[in-house]
C-alpha cells in the first residue's frame, strides 16, 4: 500500500506485481541469468509484457518492447523486476533499447549484482532525461533472486539438498515410498525449479529413477542429471543412460575403465574426470566448480545420507528440505538419519515449516 511519502502510486504496485509474477513463473529456467519480468504500460493500459527466455535469452525487456510499435512505446512506462543491463554480453544492453524506444518512465525493483551493470542503469537513464525510479517491492524481488545473487557473487551453484523419511527418521523400508503422493508431487515441483539434480550412482542404481519432473505439463522442464560415480559403477541398463534425455546426463568420475567410458560416450552421456580429495573421494568442490562453468546455477541434491553428510561438512549446502511422513516404521525401517538431522541443525541454524497441503506429511526447510 502506498503512503503520502511513497514515491510510487497504487498502480505502480499493481503493474510491478504483474512483472514479479512473470519473473516467478520462469524462475529456475533461465540458466545463469536472472529470471526477469517486464510490463509496458501507457495511459494505465498494458501494451505488452515479457519474460527472460529459457536458458537466459532473450531478455524480458527485449521481449516486451519487440511486441510494440514505436508510436505506442513513445511516452510509455516500463516496469522491470531487475535493473536493466547496461553491458554487451550475448545481447546488446537493454538500456540502449529502452532509450531508443523513447520510453518516458522506467521503474525497476532491485539492482543487479553483475559488476558489468550493477548500479549503472539509474544514472545512465537519468542522463537521457528518462524518469527513473528503483526499489519498488524490492523485498519481494530479492526472494526471487536469492539463487542468482548467491551464484553470481561466489561463482558456484546454489545447492539445496532434500531427504524423505518416516516419522521416526528412517529413509528406507520394504515399501518403495515412505512419504505420500502429495509429498512426492511437491518433490517433483522442486525438481522443476532447479537447473540440475544430483545423485550418486549408488542412488541411481538402487532407485532406478529417471530423475525427471513428473508433473503433467512440466515434464519437458526436467533438470539436468548430475551423477557422482567415482568408479563408473552406473548400471548400463539404467534409465538415465538409455532414455531420450541421456544426452542431458553428466557423470563425474575418477575411472580409467576405457570400455565403460567408450560405451557411455557412445550413448551420448557427458563424462567429466574429477580429482580425488584428501580422503580419496571425488572432490565435491571441483564438481560444483565444473558445474557452474557449464552454466549450472542451482543444484537439487537427492543423494541420500552419506552424500548429504559430506556436503554439510564441506559447507556446500545452502538449504535443506526434510520431507517427513506421519508413519513410524520401527523395526521395518532402515538407515536412520536422526544424527544427520542434528548435524543439519548445527550447520543450518534457521528452520521453517513449509505451508502446503500434504494430508499428514510435513516439510521442514533448514537454511
Vertex 156: Cα angle to 37 and 224 (nearest 5): 70
**CA distances, 26 to each of 95, 107, 241, 332 (Å):** 22, 20, 28, 42
| DSSP result, 237-256 | T-HHHHSTTGGGEEEEE---
Cα 349 to the center of its chain, rounded Å: 22
Beta strand extents in the chain (DSSP E only):
37-42, 45-51, 77-82, 105-110, 131-134, 158-165, 170-172, 196-200, 224-228, 249-253, 270-273, 298-301, 319-324, 334-336, 351-353, 362-366
Residue indicated by cell numbers 521416526: 168
CA distance 226 to 228: 7
Dmax (CA) for the chain in angstroms is 73
CA distance 42 to 78: 9
331 phi, psi to nearest 5 deg: -70, -15
Looking at 61, 63, 83, 302, which residue is catalytic? 61
DSSP 8-state secondary structure symbol assigned to residue 223: P
Would residue 61 show up in a list of annotated catalytic residues for this protein?
A: yes
User: Which residues are known catalytic residues?
Assistant: 61
Amino acid at each position: 500500500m502506498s503512503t503520502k511519502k511513497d514515491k510510487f502510486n497504487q498502480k505502480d504496485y499493481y503493474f510491478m506485481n504483474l512483472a514479479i509474477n512473470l519473473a516467478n513463473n520462469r524462475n529456475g529456467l533461465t540458466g545463469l541469468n536472472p529470471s526477469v519480468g517486464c510490463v509496458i504500460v501507457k495511459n494505465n493500459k498494458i501494451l505488452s509484457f515479457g519474460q527472460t527466455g529459457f536458458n537466459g535469452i532473450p531478455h524480458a525487456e527485449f521481449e516486451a518492447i519487440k511486441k510494440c510499435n514505436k508510436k505506442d512505446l513513445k511516452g510509455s512506462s516500463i516496469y522491470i523486476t531487475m535493473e536493466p543491463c547496461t553491458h554487451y554480453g550475448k545481447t546488446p544492453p537493454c538500456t540502449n533499447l529502452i532509450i531508443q524506444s523513447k520510453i518516458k518512465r522506467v521503474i525497476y525493483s532491485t539492482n543487479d549484482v553483475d559488476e558489468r551493470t550493477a548500479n549503472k542503469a539509474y544514472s545512465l537513464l537519468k542522463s537521457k532525461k528518462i524518469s527513473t525510479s528503483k526499489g519498488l517491492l524490492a523485498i519481494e524481488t530479492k526472494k526471487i533472486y536469492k539463487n542468482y545473487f548467491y551464484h553470481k557473487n561466489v561463482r558456484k551453484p546454489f545447492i539445496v539438498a532434500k531427504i524423505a523419511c518416516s516419522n521416526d527418521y528412517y529413509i528406507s523400508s520394504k515399501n518403495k515410498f515412505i512419504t505420500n503422493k502429495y509429498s512426492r508431487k511437491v518433490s517433483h515441483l522442486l525438481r522443476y525449479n532447479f537447473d540440475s539434480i544430483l545423485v550418486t550412482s549408488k542412488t541411481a542404481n538402487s532407485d532406478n529413477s529417471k530423475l525427471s519432473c513428473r508433473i503433467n505439463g512440466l515434464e519437458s522442464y526436467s533438470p539436468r542429471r548430475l551423477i557422482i560415480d567415482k568408479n563408473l559403477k552406473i548400471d548400463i541398463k539404467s534409465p538415465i543412460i538409455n532414455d531420450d534425455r541421456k544426452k542431458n546426463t553428466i557423470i563425474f568420475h575418477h575411472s580409467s575403465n576405457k570400455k565403460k567410458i567408450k560405451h557411455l560416450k557412445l550413448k551420448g552421456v557427458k563424462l567429466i574426470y574429477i580429482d580425488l580429495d584428501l580422503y580419496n573421494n571425488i572432490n565435491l568442490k571441483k564438481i560444483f566448480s565444473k558445474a557452474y562453468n557449464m552454466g549450472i546455477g542451482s543444484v537439487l541434491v537427492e543423494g541420500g545420507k552419506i552424500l548429504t553428510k559430506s556436503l554439510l561438512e564441506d559447507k556446500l549446502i545452502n538449504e535443506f528440505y526434510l520431507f517427513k511422513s506421519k508413519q513410524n516404521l520401527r523395526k521395518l525401517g532402515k538407515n536412520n538419519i536422526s544424527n544427520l538431522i542434528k548435524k543439519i541443525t548445527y550447520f543450518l541454524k534457521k528452520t521453517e515449516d513449509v505451508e502446503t497441503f500434504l494430508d499428514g506429511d510435513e516439510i521442514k526447510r533448514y537454511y
